[in-house]
Structure 1
Amino acid sequence: MNFIQVIILAIVEGITEFLPVSSTGHMIVTSSLMGIETNSFVKLFEVCIQLGAILAVVVLYWKKFFDFSRWQFYIKLIVAVIPALIFGALFSHKIKSLMESNVTVAVSLLVGGIVLLFIDNAFKNPVIKDEQHITYPKAFMIGLWQCLAMIPGVSRSASSIIGGMQQKLTRSAAAEFSFFLAVPTMFAATAKDLLDWYKEKGAISGEEIKFLAVGNIIAFIVAMLAIKFFIDYLKKYGFKLFGYYRILAGIVILLLVWKGVIQ
């Protein structure tokens, strides 16, 4: 891995983290296309730079994140992140093995794309327009939906937004809660991966620290722009465009695997 590859992966992460198209899936395929060998640091990098993108949420919604008078907001996030913590701890090795499979990414993109074509009509008459009206059981159910994103290509954003809509949230309310939920989820995932790395390999090298720093900064900047675009687009047009994109991307990836361009 070199700095050019780091920059490209960080841009891909920043663009795709909050769109329902799977940032992890896109980074796996992008790494394959650039000929990056999948090793333990590449896997660590692909998880850790997601934290940089997630921090864009904290900045854009800083009033909500730092309004300590509304303690229920924090409790809801804790409740919603519990399923991911449990499933992540139980299946972490299986999840990491799936991150090497472009076929898994392609199939997940295809299936998720078909779902997104119909999702706008599947959950009609939403009644919850903001986070304040999300109950703790609803927060937990959205957290369960988010666990589907442990399969590369599913998309954490897509699964948690669909979970929110299934719990009667509007599209924009579901998207925003998905953003909020990403913060503790990715903090936990990054902390776990860094701790596992330290236990197995010791300290990260100076060059690897530079890669992580540059990747997180670029992902943060790009994600700031992507969030604003996504919320505005979602309110007006819904999910169909993302569904068509996922289907096309899934077909292209399968063709690339079939032709031997990527493994």
Structure 2
Amino acid sequence: MDNIFLAALLGLLEGLTEFIPVSSTGHLLLAGHFLGFDSPGNTFEVVIQLGAVLALISLYAVKLTGLALRARTDPAALRALMSLLIAFLPAVFIGLLAHDFIKTVLFESPMLIAVMLIVGGVILLVIDRIAPPPVHFDAMELPLRKALIVGFCQCLAMVPGVSRSGATIVGALMLGVEKRAAAEFSFLLSLPTMGAAVAYDLFKSRDLLDFSAVADIAVGFAVAFLTAIIVVRSVLGFIGKHGYAVFGWWRITVGTLALIGLWAGA
């Protein structure tokens, strides 16, 4: 990749979409398809995703460190960390088993991505209206059984276009988690999930990684990092006031435009 502007654009897309329920992977893959972008070993995509992960770590480091320090003496802190660990485990097992199939088959299907964006958008619009009244208002107080269910929901996002945050948020909403708390639990769950996914991708693709376009990669990483910080800081308040409908329409619009482009032979 030798285009700084394109690197910045893709970094912006990653940071903007990683932590909202619209599928950052789906957006990046569709953008790569229509812009003719190809990164050997997916080096660029993996590195800019790491930028988004580090942005979230920087924002939640104090909270998570405090929980870890209190966990030995505070049952509530230990339970909060356990809920995240339990929710993370399904992705570990299913991800390891299905990794090669996901990377070689599903990731090469722009049509599938577009369809899943639309389907996920419709589901978000419906769930935003019919979700049961919330009974859990704190992301750190989710019962372990419900955390595990959310973890299995997260595995649906291994299909590009589904959205990791979208799957976990929808699952949490249907389990009676308040909208803002559902988003925050999704944020926190993304730390071990995305961290492990990025590390595993780097390991699996270590012989294919290409860092020759260092300037472009650095720009994409920096833009993704800064954009993700802005999004995470602002999106919880937005969701608390407006819910998830706007993200549903976003998905439907992008998916529809992608289908039109694919049908037109783009």
Distance 1:122 1:95, change over 3 A: same
AA of the residue aligned to 1:217: A
Q: Which secondary structure state, in structure 1, belongs to the residue aligned with residue 12 of structure 2?
A: helix
List structure 1 segments (4+ residues) > 6 angstroms apart after TM superposition. Answer: none
Superposition pairs for residues 60-139 of structure 1, below 5 Å?
Answer: 60-67=59-66, 68=68, 69=70, 70-96=77-103, 97-139=105-147
Q: Which residue among 188, 212, 220 is the counterpart of 1:215?
A: 220
Letter in 2 for 1:71: L
Displacement, 1:133?
1.8
Whole-angstrom distance in 1 between the partners of 2:123 and 2:180:
18
**Cross-structure match for 1:253:** 258
Cα pair 2:46 2:202 within 8 Å, conserved? no
Q: Sort the Cα spacing of 1:208 and 1:66 in 2 relative to 1 into closer, same or farther, 3 A.
A: farther
86-95 or 61-70, which moves further after superposition?
61-70
Rate the CA distance shift 1:133–1:73 in 2: closer, same or farther, 3 A: closer
Q: TM-score scaled to structure 1, two decimals?
A: 0.91
Return the alpha-carbon distance in structure 1 between the equivalents of residues 174 and 123 of structure 2.
13
Query: In the alignment, which of 233, 243, 247 is matched to residue 238 of structure 1?
Result: 243
C-alpha distance 191-248 of structure 1, shift in aligned 2 (>3 A):
same
Q: Report if the CA contact (8 A) 1:7-1:215 is conserved.
A: yes
Q: Does 1:23 align with 2:24?
A: yes
Sequence identity percentage: 39
Letter paired with 1:165: L
Gaps of 5+ in 1: none
TM-align CA RMSD: 1.8
- CA distance change for structure 1 residues 148 and 47 in 2, over 3 Å: closer, same or farther? farther
Structure 2, unpaired ranges of 5+: 71-76
Query: Corresponding residue for 1:41?
Result: 41
Deviates more, 1:234-243 or 1:55-64: 55-64
Could you tell me whether the CA contact under 8 Å between 1:115 and 1:243 is conserved in 2? yes
CA contact 2:41–2:210 (8 Å) conserved in 1 = no
Aligned equivalents of 1:209, 1:149: Cα separation in 2: 30
Partners in 2 of 1:206 and 1:157 — Cα distance? Answer: 29
2:212 is paired with a residue whose SS is: helix
